[in-house]
Amino acid sequence: MNPTPVNLLDFDVDGLAAWFAAQGEKPFRARQVMRWLHREGCTDFSRMTDVAKSLRARLAEQACVRPPAPISDRVSADGTRKWLLDVGAGNAVETVFIPEATRGTLCVSSQAGCALDCAFCSTGKQGFNRNLSAAEIIGQLWLANRLLGGAADGERVVSNVVMMGMGEPLTNLDNVIRALRLMLDDHAYGLSRRRVTVSTSGIVPAMDRLREECPVALAVSLHAPNDGLRDRLVPINAKYPLAQLLAACRRYLDRAPRDFVTFEYVMLDGVNDHDGHARELITIAAEVPCKFNLIPFNPFPGSPFRRSPAARIRHFAGLLAEAGIVATTRKTRGDDVDAACGQLAGRVQDRSRRIIRMAEMERKS
């Protein structure tokens, strides 16, 4: 019986070199094959013309190129494109491509579901099943380039990647780092560290590890300016409160490709959008070089929150700007296909039993 083929998308260059070395092959073969896999989007080993025929034959027997399979492919009126991707065992994740005049940004998922249960996020309400493998993470970029028509001749449609899809990237750090290294590798995607962003809710030890092993641009899901409110909106704050989080941000900037952290701040009507909240954010900005990305809340069924009115968001941004802080308001993209920030839900076989527990609590209330 033949062993299960090895999915080559699971390897960064060091891992692929080690796999080849175990078979008596030279390390340079890893760079050759990576270029075919990632720059050309090639799945047919016989087409890898600068690879020895004997190795091509062995790859055909022992290896495969297997990204997640698309279940659906939806395009928004504004051109945003969302794929639902099958990751097995009844689970599916979502990946979103956002085209703009000067760049194309891919929003990538790192987990099937999310264990953090942020109060305003539809993904968290789905529960959690498992971490995605490195192949399932980088496979989203591999597939997007192919489906967008940019895999041939090294052409790239995706110029920026944000790890802001389903899941908390820093609780799946081993696989995320392996995928990040592929994104940055000149033999694969060759993206600049400044054009790859990891978003986290504030897993402090993992932030320090990312800083040491693969520092890319950092975005922090802040969403509240004080511990009391953040405990309610972002429960991980109870474990890593703001003082620890801000200290980790300052440490990260020592190695970061940008000289600021982006603080993401979803605007919730009457919850975190008061003038006093803006003044507290100004105090935070004095501690950490940063810019704020204000995100109009995108509603989903069962959510108790409402989006802050446009006038309130403009006023809030103005208060920050008056203090000399860069504050942008994220344009809502793809909300007609549920592809906007906070709307990604996918399909998750929930091992956390969160949905069951929530139903039980509702029955008791």
Catalytic residues: 94, 341
* DSSP tag of 10: G
Residues 93, 96, 97: CA angle, nearest 5 degrees: 150
Q: Using an 8 Å Cβ cutoff, are 112 and 68 in contact?
A: no
Q: Using an 8 Å Cβ cutoff, are 104 and 157 in contact?
A: yes
Environment class of residue 241 by beta-carbon count within 10 Å: exposed (0-12), middle (13-18) or buried (19+)? middle
Q: Using an 8 Å Cβ cutoff, are 281 and 320 in contact?
A: yes
The set of residues, in sequence order, having a beta carbon less than 8 Å from that of 156 and lying 6+ positions away, is: 145, 150, 189
Whole-number CA gyration radius for the chain: 21
The set of residues, in sequence order, having a beta carbon less than 8 Å from that of 48 and lying 6+ positions away, is: 32, 33, 36, 42, 56, 59
Give 181's Cβ-side CA count (13 Å radius).
20
CB atoms within 10 A of CB 187: 18
Q: Using an 8 Å Cβ cutoff, are 38 and 24 in contact?
A: no
CB atoms within 10 A of CB 244: 15
> Torsion angle of alpha carbons 196, 254, 176, 184, nearest 10°?
40
